[in-house]
Amino acid sequence: MREIFSANNLKPLIKSPGSKKVLGQLNTEQLNFVKTAQLDAQHTTTEWLDFFDEVRMYDELKAIKRTNFMRLFGWITILMACFMAASLMMGTKNVVLFIISQLGFILLIPTLLITSRMAKRMRRKYFPDYFHTVIIPMLTALHEETAQNALIHLKTDLRHQANGSVNLETKNKYYRVFDWTVLQISGELLNATRFNLSVRIHHQLWYRKRKSKRRVFMNLRLEYPKKAHQYIYADLLDQASYKTKVKDKPKKHVLTLRRQLKFKDKFLDTYQYTDIPFSELVQMILNGYQATS
């Protein structure tokens, strides 16, 4: 409810091209991703960046559409409030105006509730923050570290946390557990190293206590072909931050890095996610690079 009357919603409307026009320019794969928020495919990094650039534009236009909706309603509400105040002041002399002001006041409360619900529904339609803060930056970084024609396999689930029964493991009304793999990405780097990175979230919610506890599991598997890398130096790895495992196979060295992040705080904002710091993922990959330096 506070969001409706925030300072941001009392500004002029934002001019932008219609989201439906941009939606009509998306291909079948992009449309399916927009609809389901799930993806399992492989492309080159150039193709991935082009793929997400158009989807990102559509996502941002939906956010602008919601902002304009909130601003329009904010101005309408102010005008209604001014009219009701004037009618109430003149109500002692004009019975009709007094009745109108009372009806307006009665209708204002359910209107606010309906608008708030509509705003939340509109917000669910665009992607959570991971799309902008993790997925796109990761592919941008890989674009510099992979061959031009190298295929990158990407599997992601960007459905909103705590949204209905998505990834739900328990059916308790007041205590729910969500567990799902947000990101899996694999491919081959310029130095011939194959990588497989996955990020999984285990999320516990206590609705009565309004508390949230999350654990983020980041796993990175690196395969170094012995033709290109005769040795790997496990002693150069950050043993304090990561659980490491080195396995020697006939044709390759295999290094596994694991890291767990824990978050325990107030009730989670189910739209703004910061549980997967991009810097942590980059640092994990850099540690893998150091093993061959």
Kindly state the average pLDDT of the residues 250-264.
Answer: 90
Q: Which tokens belong to 148?
A: 């031009």
Q: Which tops the pLDDT comparison, 234 or 15?
A: 234
For residues 125 and 119, what is the distance between their CA atoms, to the nearest angstrom? 10
Query: 4 is written with which tokens?
Result: 């409706």
Checking if the pLDDT of 3 tops 50, the result is: no
Averaged pLDDT for residues 65-84: 65
pLDDT digits 0-9 by tens, 154-198:
999 988 765 555 677 777 878 888 888 999 999 999 888 999 999
Q: What's the rounded Cα separation, in Å, for the pair 168 and 237?
A: 36
Give the model's confidence band at 141: pLDDT under 50 very low, under 70 low, under 90 confident, else very high: very high
Enter the tokens of residue 160: 């909103």
Is 236:292 a contact under the CB 8 Å cutoff? no
DSSP secondary structure string, 189-235? -TTS-EEEEEEEEEEEEETTTTEEEEEEEEEEEEEEETTT-S---GG
In angstroms, the CA 134 to CA 45 distance is: 15
- Taking each helix axis from N to C end, the angle separating 278-290 and 136-145, rounded to the nearest 10 degrees, works out to 20
Can you tell me the distance from the alpha carbon of 146 to that of 222, in angstroms, rounded to the nearest whole number? 14
pLDDT band (50, 70, 90) for residue 67: low
The span from the CA of 144 to the CA of 167, in Å, is: 34
Q: State residue 94's pLDDT score.
A: 63
Whose structure tokens read 């909130």?
Answer: 70
pLDDT score at 218: 95
Residue 57: pLDDT band (50, 70, 90) is confident
**What's CA 204's distance to the chain center, in Å?**
18
Which single residue is written with the structure tokens 């080195």?
246
pLDDT for the residue 274: 74
Main-chain phi, psi angles of 189, to 5 degrees: -85, 170
Q: In this structure, what token pair is assigned to residue 236? A: 């150069």
Residue 89: pLDDT band with limits 50, 70, 90: low
Closest CA to 237 of 259, 215, 218, 252: 259
* SS3 category, 271: coil
- CA–CA gap between residue 209 and residue 199 (Å, rounded): 27
User: What does the pLDDT look like over 195-223, one tens digit per residue?
Assistant: 999 999 988 888 787 788 889 999 999 99
pLDDT for position 148: 92
Residue 291's pLDDT band, with cuts at 50, 70 and 90, is confident
Q: Which of 40-49, 91-100, 127-136, 208-217 has the highest mean pLDDT?
A: 40-49
**Average pLDDT taken over every residue of the chain:** 78
pLDDT number for residue 256: 92
Pair of tokens at residue 167: 């990834």
